[in-house]
Amino acid sequence: MGEALKFPDGFYWGTATASHQVEGGCRNNQWWAWEQEGGNIKDGTTSGIACDHYNRFDEDFALQRELGHNSHRFSIEWSRIEPEEGRWDGKEVDHYKRVLESLHKHGLTPFVTLHHFTNPIWFEDQGGWTSPKAPDLLERFAGHMAKELGDAVPFWLTINEPPVLPAASYIAGVHPPAKRDFRLAMKAAKNILLSLGRMHNAIRANAPHKPIIGPVINMTYVMPASDSDDDKEAAQSFDQYWNGYWLDGIRDGIIGPPAGDGESVDGLKGAWDIIGLNYYSRSVIAKAGGVMGLRQIPPPMDSERSTMGWEVYPEGFYQNMLRLKQYGKPVYITENGIGTDDDGQRCSYVVRHLREVHRAIQNGVDVRSYLHWSSTDNFEWAEGYRQKFGLIATEGDDLKRVPKPSAYVFKEMAEANAVTEGLAEQYLE
């Protein structure tokens, strides 16, 4: 018999989304522009009207509530709020006020992300994250939103996945502006870390109440490909870029390697109340030529993988949560999920990953939420719509919302505040 795995009272169960991936019509950002060039999105799709969530948010939140959720993470589209530098669009601010009202009405606690991959075109034209103006502009945007949305927002998440931004846009060249220039990547990494501190402080100074604020770090679990000193060293520098640079940077208020030499920055030290953690997979690293002198070894063909090609590796999730204990901040799982056409695999994935969350809590990590990526299938960036991450499908021309079996597995757990005995028996050895 499986045994029920109980979560602490008040645990948050919900899903996460990002404006560009679900709203539709985000015409003023760099992703939209890049999609129109053609050839940049693997499956040839463009975001278009996405899930039309911009118009259907109330219906979506009602369904999420019916499916047992008590919280929801979404992002504000900066390019709607500030379509031209320094011009605020009050109508779009009102839109997000309605979104927040709807969440509260349906009993879903809002987690609001301020930056989730998209930049207004005017900001991208100035060099985006590589521009020395970036921290000032992000600080101003964060302050504006904190003032405007006020106490409707209990949780602010400043920047989604800081390490992905330079890596995807300026190292791998798979997100716009699709460059491969390590120097630019390091400029961006520095400005993003500075912005994390500045945004935190701007929210704190402008919100009329005392919201809870934090970054969203997507930790990958890094392992060396072998026991050789070379591979271990390569794994360590990858880990430093991906994990340590951000976490230690905020804890200590420094810009460490690879973007700095450990110089202190005013206002950065301790600029977090919580740590948002996204987790998808592990990274096995070997020494090689080229950028940073390393390469990522693809997962073995016989390992369990997603349609993204990512290895399913729940143990790494546990190890990452355990590592976060040293920072002494509550941990909120802000994303975890799988791209797959096999919803049975998703059911098993979500139960197995929640077992790791439970194990981490048992071992003293203060984890307070599990927000699954994602509610509906949506626009998966450079991969397009071909990748399915949702608990809910969007079917036909009218994008009819159809919950998948995994949505009911999730409901069972959310309502019981536990991995139930039945699910443990079915999915856990």
Residues that bind ligand BGC in the complex, under the rule CB under 6 A? 18, 21, 160-161, 164, 218, 278, 335, 373, 380, 389
Using the minimum distance from each CB to ligand BGC, give the nearer residue, 201 or 334. 334
Buried residues in 148-184 as b, exposed as e (16+ CB within 10 A): bbeebbebbbbbbbbbbbbbbbbbbeebbbeeebeeb
| 335 assigned to active site | yes
Which is closer to ligand BGC, CB of 164 or CB of 402? 164
Closest CB to ligand BGC among 35 and 161? 161
Q: How far is the CB of 178 from ligand BGC (least distance, A)?
A: 17
First to last CA, the chain: 10
Catalytic site includes residue 101: no
Nearer to ligand BGC, 21 or 376 (CB): 21
Closest by alpha carbon to 376, among 344, 419, 406? 406
44, amino acid identity:
G
Q: State the CB neighbour count (10 A cutoff) for residue 254.
A: 18
3-class state of residue 84 by DSSP:
strand
Residue that the structure tokens 């209990």 belong to: 154
Residue whose CB is less far from ligand BGC, 13 or 389: 389
Closest approach of ligand BGC to the CB of residue 174, in Å: 12
Helix (H/G/I), strand (E/B), else coil: 274 = coil
Which is catalytic among the residues 77, 335, 356, 380? 335
Question: Could you tell me which residues come within 8 angstroms of residue 289 by beta carbon, excluding any fewer than 6 positions away?
Answer: none
Q: What is the dihedral of CA 17, 327, 284, 384, to 10 degrees?
A: 10
Nearer to ligand BGC, 96 or 373 (CB): 373
Catalytic hit among 161, 311, 356, 380: 161
Q: 294-324 burial string, b = 16+ CB within 10 Å, else e?
A: bbbbebeeeeebbbeebbbbbebbbbbbebb
**Minimum distance from CB of 21 to ligand BGC (Å)?**
6
Residue 91 CB, shortest distance to ligand BGC, in Å, is 26
Residue 177 beta carbon to ligand BGC: minimum distance, rounded to whole angstroms: 18
Residue type, 238: F
Which residues does residue 277 pair with via DSSP β-bridges, in sequence order? 217, 333
* Minimum distance from residue 51 beta carbon to ligand BGC (Å): 13
Q: From CA 287, how far away is CA 32, in angstroms rounded?
A: 36
Residues with catalytic annotation? 161, 335
